[in-house]
Amino acid sequence: MTTSIDISEKSGVRYLHFGSSWVQGAMRIARPWNLELEYTREMMASLLLRSDARWPKRILLIGLGAASLTKFLYRHRPDAHLTIVEIEPSVVAAARHFFKFPDDDKRIHLIVADGAEYILGTDKKFDLILVDGFNEHAHPGQLNSLPFYQACRSRLNDQGVLAVNLLGLCTGVIGGFAHILKAFDEQALLFPRCESGNTIAFAREGDPVCICLDEFKAAVLTLKTNTGLNLLPTLARLENKFPDKRFSF
């Protein structure tokens, strides 16, 4: 059954809905390459978890939505190749027609398929995997299961990072993060909850991520200068969560 797609606009922002009031994506019409929703900005904190400024080179995005993450990475990681897996053809059509999805077959490989089935069946490896897939009821289905996260880990390169948008009741977020912790042998971290209700989880392969918040602030300011992305609100929440001014996983 094809998902019902609704497009709305308010105060210069265009929104994507799946036949309900839940916002599945957004784009400020005057700035289509920016990240309008708070949780998408927070997912891009993943770019600061490895020291190589050119990292990541191979990126997998599960869930297309309004193509916000795709557009940001396409513009600001020009050497990266993006693979996007989206289950709904109607979402792909909406992203192309309403949200300026880039037309570049050399750098973007778009696959219409079930994200869980794709990750279980592919043999490709990625530096960064971003998971942001929900149905019209804001449920992630098999994208929030232990077998799925175990498969994600198997598809990461040696220094790879997984970033997941967890949404729902507290028990839903905690339950999903428990799967991530188990799949990655505790090598994971849950960022403080966004004001929007989303909570972003990160997990890694390879070397531990150990970040001093003073150094993180410098990286946040550099990223803001280079891309316009403002992660200072994220930094403030991290400072409240980690009084010793560092985090690691």
pLDDT tens-digit series, residues 94-111: 999 999 999 999 999 999
Q: Is 105 among the domain residues?
A: yes
Q: Is 14 among the domain residues?
A: no
pLDDT score at 247: 96
218 or 139: which carries more pLDDT confidence? 218
Q: Is 224 among the domain residues?
A: no
pLDDT score at 142: 82
- The predicted model scores a pTM of 0.94
pLDDT of 114 higher than 50: yes
Among 136, 93, 92, which residue's Cα sits nearest to residue 4? 136
In the chain, how many domains are there? 1
Q: Is 146 among the domain residues?
A: yes
Q: Span 126-135, mean pLDDT?
A: 88
Among 143, 156, 159, which residue's Cα sits nearest to residue 85? 143
**How many Å apart are CA 156 and CA 241, to the nearest integer?**
28
Question: Tokens 């003073």 identify what position?
Answer: 214
Q: Is 129 among the domain residues?
A: yes
pLDDT of 139 higher than 70: no
pLDDT band at 116 (very low <50, low <70, confident <90, very high): very high
- CATH code for the domain in which residue 155 is found: 3.40.50.150
Q: Is 239 among the domain residues?
A: no
pLDDT band at 1 (very low <50, low <70, confident <90, very high): very low
- Is residue 6 within 8 A of residue 17, CB to CB? The reply is yes
pLDDT score at 237: 95
pLDDT of 138 higher than 80: no
Q: Is 140 among the domain residues?
A: yes
Domain span at residue 98 reads: 37-207
Written as six digits, the tokens of 233 are 């609100």
Q: Is 46 among the domain residues?
A: yes
